Structure 1
Amino acid sequence: MAMWPFGKKQEAAESTYEDPTPEVPEDVEPQEATVAGDTGPFDGDTVDIAEFDFSDFSLGILDLGSMRIPLPKNSQVQVEMGEQGPKMVHIVTEFGRITPVAFAAPNSAGQWAEAGEQITQGMMGDGLETDVDQGPWGPEIIGQGEHGKIRVIGVEGPRWMLRMTTTAPHDRAEGLRDLAREITARTFVYRGSDPILAGNSLPVVLPKQLVEQVQQAMQQRAEQAQQQAAQALKAQSQQVDEVPTEEPTEK
């Protein structure tokens, strides 16, 4: 899969990329996100997403407030539900699942290196075999298990850090790796001016359509919980009714 075959709208007719896949030396240092240019991820507070043409890759933009992500064709958005509501947003593709998260970061670089160590330790604690792959933006953390492979891509930007976590079966892991890098290169992060502690995730706002779907899912979950509780009470009541009572013996 060719990397990043896109450009700004006013330059789209002139932009050609014979071999856009960058060669990454083994000793590459983590690179920061692009503030201005033809490839990202981009700082949305200073770069206008409307200037770019992603129609060759995407049918629409997933607007999450702090992130705007051109969705690849033939993909779907999945909202992972927690007890208190939406927990995580995933992009489900033919290769596997991609989970984007943006974090607040200090002005100085180094947050991804620190996060990478923590991610590696967490993978090892889960019994995964870990490795590091050099990607377009620096080290990518890999965890392999019996059923599949996890890859975590990290990119540092102006006071933010973007993390893409991929999960795929072994036979589709390379395809998901390439697609995740494509998505990362087209993602816009909006840090904003609000004070947010470094390391905390930037707030996510679900689009109206997703909100409606989430509300329906939560309502269905509540109805199922009520039904299960009612069935449990009914079963318990039947068990009580079926307990034989002892007749009093005459003396």
Structure 2
Amino acid sequence: MIFSRKRANEARQARDNEVLDEDTPAESRGPYDVSEAPDAPRLDLGSLQIPAVPDVEVRVQADPQGVIQQVVLVHGENALQLGVFAAPRSDGIWDEVREEIRQSLVNDGATTQDVEGERGPELRAQVRTPDGPTDLRFVGIDGPRWMVRGVFQGRVAVDPAAAGPLAACLDGLVVDRGLEAKPVREPLPLRLPREISEQQADDSQEV
């Protein structure tokens, strides 16, 4: 099942709220832990809460049980794929994860480059696809017992200044890690919003 929602109502609400822009100090940007997140309209996907940003579409791929397999934010021809993982209480894991991603990409014939981005070390790659070379930009943000990984695709993969609304989504992202002990690097659970799950169940019963 693929759930795609433009969230026009939330977007209208977002216009009435302060939106983080490139002039916002980096230390006041998210992703936020749920314990310190500012109030704002968001789409609750369990461990991740996606802020409402005008013109950004949230595309979610979920299994029949409503467990989310993939979250992609789309703005025009640009996209940002999101993932969130368990991490240790003391140390961040982005450096190690980034190196593992690099090795995997190189083994598949991709070219990679380390870049210092506004959030710290990033990994850029050019991978081979049936449609030709594709650019990707990997970013990671270490939080308290969690790590968010983002993969930019499209023009934003080579031009971070073009990220605009997608960067605003990352800035306003909220992580709800929960209290349960989890192995390091295990993906944190994501689920469809309750109203979507209920609608999915109703549709199944009608078939």
The reply on whether 1:42 has 2:24 as its aligned counterpart is no
Q: Please give the alpha-carbon distance, in whole angstroms, between the structure 2 residues aligned to 1:77 and 1:17.
A: 20
Q: Which residue of 2 aligns with 1:156?
A: 142
1:200 partner SS: coil
Higher Rg? 1
* Matched-pair contact (CA < 8 Å) for 2:124–2:157: no
Higher relative contact order (CA 8 A, sep 6+): 2
Aligned length: 184
Q: Which residue of 2 aligns with 1:188?
A: 174
Q: 1:188 to 1:153 in 2, by over 3 A?
A: same
Q: For the aligned residues, what is the CA RMSD?
A: 3.4
| Structure 1 residue 112: Cα displacement | 0.5
Per the normalisation by structure 2, the TM-score is: 0.73
Q: Which residue of 1 aligns with 2:79?
A: 97
Alignment of 1:1-251 (within 5 A): 19-20=23-24, 38-44=28-34, 46-50=35-39, 60-81=41-62, 86-145=68-127, 146-168=132-154, 170=155, 173-174=158-159, 177-211=163-197
Q: Please give the alpha-carbon distance, in whole angstroms, between the structure 2 residues aligned to 1:93 and 1:194.
A: 34
2:169 partner SS: helix
* Matched-pair contact (CA < 8 Å) for 2:79–2:166: no
Give the letter for the 1:91 counterpart.
Answer: L
Per the normalisation by structure 1, the TM-score is: 0.61
Q: Please give the alpha-carbon distance, in whole angstroms, between the structure 1 residues aligned to 2:100 and 2:21.
A: 37
Q: 1:137 to 1:20 in 2, by over 3 A?
A: same
Give the letter for the 2:49 counterpart.
Answer: R
Q: 1:83 to 1:214 in 2, by over 3 A?
A: closer
* Matched-pair contact (CA < 8 Å) for 2:140–2:149: yes
Which structure 1 segments of 5+ residues have no match? 1-5, 23-33, 53-59, 224-251
**CA-to-aligned-CA distance 1:122-180 (integer Å, 9 cap, x gap):** 22123221112212221111111344211111011111111111222x58752654544
Give the letter for the 2:113 counterpart.
Answer: D
Q: 1:209 to 1:139 in 2, by over 3 A?
A: same
Which structure 2 segments of 5+ residues have no match? 1-13
Q: Please give the alpha-carbon distance, in whole angstroms, between the structure 1 residues aligned to 2:25 and 2:77.
A: 20
